[in-house]
Amino acid sequence: MKTHWIEREVTGSSMRAYVAEPRGVPKAGVIVLQEIYGVNDFVRTIAEGVAREGYLAIAPDLYHRTDPGLDLSRPEGQERGIAAAFATTLPQIVADLTASGAYLSERLGPEAQIGTWGFCFGGSIAFISATLPFVRCAVSFYGGSIARSPVPDRPAWIEQAREVRAPIFFAFGGADEHIPPEDRETIRKALDGRGKHYEMHVLEGEGHAFFRLGSESNAGSREIWPRVQAFLARYLIL
């Protein structure tokens, strides 16, 4: 595996992205979507783990317009990370996702199979990614901005449910203090009512960001990681 940074021009701004490449020919591509803390060590580690599974991974810097290169630690960076996340807009996010998908298609060919995997802030963006035509599947870990919007005057992203095109894999902690059961039910009802394909996994006893320390860090992570692997393989390896 090898890693490197690239830069892409997106809507007049230079977007940096971390790329992790597998050994040999990639199976497909995965866009890794950051938490509020930027493309930090956790996000880079996830991209590298995806690459070890045989996928070409790209983790775009979604803050490149306002806070380029932001790389924060937890919990000290929480306030700044929230402010940076709130400064993003849906059209900007779609543009960044599209540019990341274009990079993967350039590398893998026009028939490239592309998925997404996001965490917290990025988990909500993974939901949005499932509305885009080039995304074959999306993995959303504890996306707290799907059922309700944390930003005044911004609609909750569940309102985009009718536009969902790709299957979505949701993972939530059953003891998540930030995402109550009623939010999960809101997501279920919106997607069920429109006949959308999804899986929802609730890891009982796990809190928010339970995957943050890796796939072997706790019972929930050990349980969910093989399911993510199987989901990606099902939709991306044809």
Q: Which residues, including other chains, have CB under 8 Å from residue 232's CB and lie 6 or more apart?
A: 28, 30, 53, 55, 115, 117, 137, 139
Catalytic residue numbers read 120, 176, 208
What type of residue is 141? F
What would the two tokens of residue 53 be?
């599974």
Q: Are 198 and 172 in contact (CB under 8 A)?
A: no
What would the two tokens of residue 59 be?
């983790």
**Phi, psi (deg, nearest 5) at residue 125:** -65, -35
**Phi, psi (deg, nearest 5) at residue 210:** -65, -20
Q: How many angstroms separate the CA atoms of 126 and 105, rounded?
A: 18
Q: How many angstroms separate the CA atoms of 112 and 181, rounded?
A: 36
Decide the pairing of beta strands 13-21 and 56-60: antiparallel
